Chains A and B, each alone.
Chain A
Amino acid sequence: AQSVTQLDSQVPVFEEAPVELRCNYSSSVSVYLFWYVQYPNQGLQLLLKYLSGSTLVKGINGFEAEFNKSQTSFHLRKPSVHISDTAEYFCAVSVSGGYNKLIFGAGTRLAVHP
């Protein structure tokens, strides 16, 4: 079975500082990986996804993530955060050919302070 672990439940950071949100997954088969963002009182929105090809994936709002198969990780990074990046971030995995079902991590709350 697949699982996703987000290692930090909360990440406080100052505006314009870099940030990394960590995600590890477990699976015995090939997977697709996703990062979603949830702003307060809104639904989830896709930030980026890895399906195949280049292991460095760029998404919206200046975020990027790197797929590391040997470490089974898919960490999310941004070189300089803004107040508006304050939100909950979810890492998710789906099994290729597996009905598009996503397994979500518990989420990481990013709090950007001025």
Chain B
Amino acid sequence: DAGVIQSPRHEVTEMGQEVTLRCKPISGHDYLFWYRQTMMRGLELLIYFNNNVPIDDSGMPEDRFSAKMPNASFSTLKIQPSEPRDSAVYFCASSQINEQFFGPGTRLTVL
């Protein structure tokens, strides 16, 4: 298996632009998690899905952030409009039983 796939690996955008991050979980995993990692706040859970249904989005910082999982093999995290304080590394992880497998992350820079 190729593991969790995230794209793009790096994204540089200007404040106010829409940003879409993508994730392909490991086949057969029925949980998908989105995290954000910054120096100041560490690793934060933003939202997670079970069988494509959002279970807990209490970590989503504000309405500018939205996440979808239209099918078992694809999820997106969208930020609109983006702000400089959104600059971070965003990780996607998937899980079947207990252990979470992390993707390589998307490094987002908002200028």
Contacts and interface: CB of A to CB of B under 8 A. Distances in A.
A94 B104 CA distance: 22
B25 interface: no
Interface string B44-60: 01001010000110000
Nearest to A46: B99
A106 B93 CA distance: 18
Given A42-B104, A43-B104, A106-B42, A101 B98 contact: no
A45 B101 CA distance: 7
Contacts of B43: 90, 104, 107
Which of the four size classes fits the interface of chain A? 10 to 19
Nearest to A42: B104
Interface of A: 32, 34, 36, 42-46, 49, 51, 90, 94, 99-102, 104, 106-107
Given A49-B99, A100-B98, A101-B45, 19 more contacts: A32-B98, A34-B99, A42-B104, A42-B105, A43-B4, A43-B102, A44-B102, A46-B101, A51-B98, A90-B43, A99-B31, A99-B50, A99-B55, A99-B56, A100-B100, A102-B33, A102-B45, A104-B42, A107-B42
